[in-house]
Chains A and B, each alone.
Chain A
Amino acid sequence: MSEEKLQNLAKEFPALSGVFEAVLEWFKTHPSTTAISMEIFYSNKFKFSREDINIAFILMQENLILTTIYRILDNDGSKIGKDFEDFNEIPDTVDTMWGEKKDTRDVLIVPYYKLLK
């Protein structure tokens, strides 16, 4: 269903079709992954402008293909705890996998985009 919606969006916004295809491809090659970071497409492996990526992600959210979630990351980029759909639900402290208790002011809270089925 998401694939069909993405194909429709690509037809409607042909200038952004490359971004939609890249997002779809990424989820196909990472089948056990449910959420993606916009950062992936900011690298030089992708030729899209930052503006195009941002607009494409907004369109995918508006069309209920992706939804924003908040992921908490440690200094080394590893994920801490569960993801949050509501930013206000993030607690004041979180626990790393190896038992370190951290103030949420000392960790990174990054928006990720979850694929809606």
Chain B
Amino acid sequence: MNPSQRNIYTDLLNSQVLKDDIHELLKKFKDLHKDDITLSGNKLDNINNLLDAVTKKIVPITDVQILIKDSEEFGDQYIFLYEPLNKNIVKSYNDGSSIIDSIVQPSIKSSFPKLTSKPTKFEWADFRFPYRGSKNSWLLKMYDRKVREVKIDEKYDISTSQRVVTYERTESRLIYLVEWNELEQLEIKISRTSFDSAKSLNESLKLIRNKIYNNGHGIDSHSDIKYVDLTDCVNNILINSSSNEKIYKLLSVTFTDSQMGKASIRAFDDQGDSDLLAEGSRKQAVEAYLNGTGKADGVVIRFLASGSNGELKNDINIVIGRDGINQIIISAKIKSQEYKYVRRKIAEFS
């Protein structure tokens, strides 16, 4: 690994991967290489130790790549769910080879995966088919760049009559994923940044849908597919919260009433110490909406590790329906098996 590659891996591990996960990978090799692997230290110490271990051929570089890949693909993202209109579309989407050929040129496809690229603009990054052991599933991955400039200083120089304004520039690598899953649903996933807005999210969604459309050759997301409506899931989560108290805690809910008025009710915080319905006034308000004409259209829940039969390492907060009826938000970076658990539970509640 040359210094330039090492810098790229350091950046990616630092920005995309949790310290715990780097630590876990190091731990796997600790027993056989006690002198070379150090588990103590901060995140950067762990990253340096891991990359040293790669250079010494103790840890395979593919293990580091899998770590980055999984961290990019599970959690810390907005997920939008779609379903095909009919069986013919399902059949064509099941054919991943034809799908990728209709969207991405062979010359670009041959450079996949582009895990370590630093995008300056939109670019195709990877395609996997079959995906995660499901013969008809596939995953298409893209990168993009998002820039935020924040004014941090402004000075006026009387002698020269000049105003000097200093901006700090923050760049984020955006990860877009389009997945055709084993439930025959199309998922569009967009990674989160600390400077997202409803407008920027819509623009990302529009860009992805346009790219996979490929001037009519690829996926027609306007004609072929429809939003998956998660409002039944939201209401089931709310109504059945006491019988599912070991599985999740209810944290917040939004309602729309018959005159399209909105109400939002929330617990004190999102740590799960107190359920939304644990306080009498909140419980009465929720019941008033449910017994009246109000319909819940958004919910925040905390899936509990203690009630997951070991499938979750930590509690995970999930938002459903914040910006649309087909949207799920997972704030934390999670493991692939945790993602599977969350999606399975949401499907069960639907």
Interface string of B325-345 (1 = CB under 8 A from A): 000011110000000000000
Q: A95-B317, A97-B251 are in contact. Are A102 and B194 (CB under 8 A)?
A: yes
Q: Are A98 and B300 in contact (CB under 8 A)?
A: yes
Q: Are B322 and A99 in contact (CB under 8 A)?
A: yes
Cα separation A102 to B197 with both chains bound (whole Å): 11
Which residues of the other chain, A, contact B76 by a CB distance below 8 angstroms?
101
A93 within 8 A of B: yes
Which residues of the other chain, A, contact B193 by a CB distance below 8 angstroms?
101
- In which size bucket is the chain A interface? 10 to 19
Interface string of A86-109 (1 = CB under 8 A from B): 000000110101111111011000
Cα separation A98 to B268 with both chains bound (whole Å): 13
Q: Which of B161-203 contact A (CB under 8 A)?
A: 192-196
Which among A21-29, A55-63, A74-82 touches the partner chain?
Answer: A74-82
Q: Are B252 and A97 in contact (CB under 8 A)?
A: yes
Q: Are A103 and B300 in contact (CB under 8 A)?
A: no
Q: Are B331 and A99 in contact (CB under 8 A)?
A: yes
Could you tell me the dominant secondary structure of chain B's interface residues?
Answer: strand
Q: Are B194 and A98 in contact (CB under 8 A)?
A: no
Cα separation A92 to B322 with both chains bound (whole Å): 24
B270 within 8 A of A: yes
Q: Are A99 and B329 in contact (CB under 8 A)?
A: yes
A44 within 8 A of B: no
Q: Are B194 and A78 in contact (CB under 8 A)?
A: no
Q: Are B322 and A79 in contact (CB under 8 A)?
A: no
**Other-chain residue from B194, B268, B298, B322 in contact with A93 (beta carbon distance below 8 A):** B194
Q: Are B269 and A81 in contact (CB under 8 A)?
A: yes
Cα separation A36 to B210 with both chains bound (whole Å): 51
Q: A32-B274, A79-B269 are in contact. Are A98 and B319 (CB under 8 A)?
A: yes
Q: A97-B300, A102-B194, A103-B194 are in contact. Are A82 and B271 (CB under 8 A)?
A: yes
**Nearest CB of B to A115, in Å:** 16
The interface of chain A, by Cβ under 8 A from chain B, is 32, 78-82, 92-93, 95, 97-103, 105-106
Closest 8 CB pairs of A and B: A99-B329, A99-B319, A95-B331, A103-B194, A97-B270, A79-B269, A101-B192, A93-B194
The interface of chain B, by Cβ under 8 A from chain A, is 76, 78, 150, 192-196, 251-252, 266, 268-271, 274, 298, 300, 317, 319, 322, 329-332
- A sample of 26 cross-chain residue pairs with beta-carbon separation below 8 angstroms, ordered by A number, consists of A32-B274, A79-B268, A79-B269, A81-B269, A81-B271, A82-B269, A82-B271, A93-B194, A95-B270, A97-B252, A97-B317, A98-B252, A98-B298, A98-B300, A99-B78, A99-B317, A99-B319, A99-B322, A99-B331, A100-B196, A101-B76, A101-B193, A101-B194, A102-B194, A103-B195, A105-B150
Given contacts A97-B251, A105-B150, A106-B194, 15 further A-B contacts (CB under 8 A): A79-B269, A82-B269, A82-B271, A95-B331, A97-B270, A97-B317, A98-B319, A98-B322, A99-B78, A99-B322, A100-B196, A101-B194, A101-B196, A103-B194, A103-B195
